[in-house]
Amino acid sequence: MDRREANIAELATALRERLVEDRRALAAAGSEPGGNLDEAVRTLVEREAALLGAADRAELAARASATASASGRWRICSPIPRSRR
């Protein structure tokens, strides 16, 4: 893995953690975090990594989405459907 790849991977992990924390905070406050995983990740990447080029942002978003969904941590911070409450 070259330096660029390592930086993208590290940043994707940090952004995924931030996303999980943000969604947990919303859920704890009684709000339902809206949107789907990909949309939430893209919004976070656009806000936090705006200085990167479009290709790097796209790769960053793809990695953050993949690690969030693969780790199962996304389910932890997703709201419980009203039908299951």
Q: What are phi and psi of 2, to 5 degrees?
A: -80, 175
Per-residue model confidence (pLDDT) at position 61: 92
How many structural domains does the chain have?
1
pLDDT at position 60 over 80? yes
| Residue 79 host element (H or E) | none
pLDDT band per the 50, 70, 90 thresholds, residue 55: very high
Q: Which domain holds residue 15?
A: 3-84
- pLDDT, average across residues 37-61: 92
Residue 42 in tokens: 């893209």
> Which residue do the tokens 């978003």 mark?
61
pLDDT given at position 72: 52
What pLDDT is recorded for position 31?
83
Q: What is the dihedral of CA 9, 10, 16, 19, to 10 degrees?
A: -140
Give the per-residue pLDDT at 70: 55
Q: Which residue bears the tokens 């290709």? A: 55
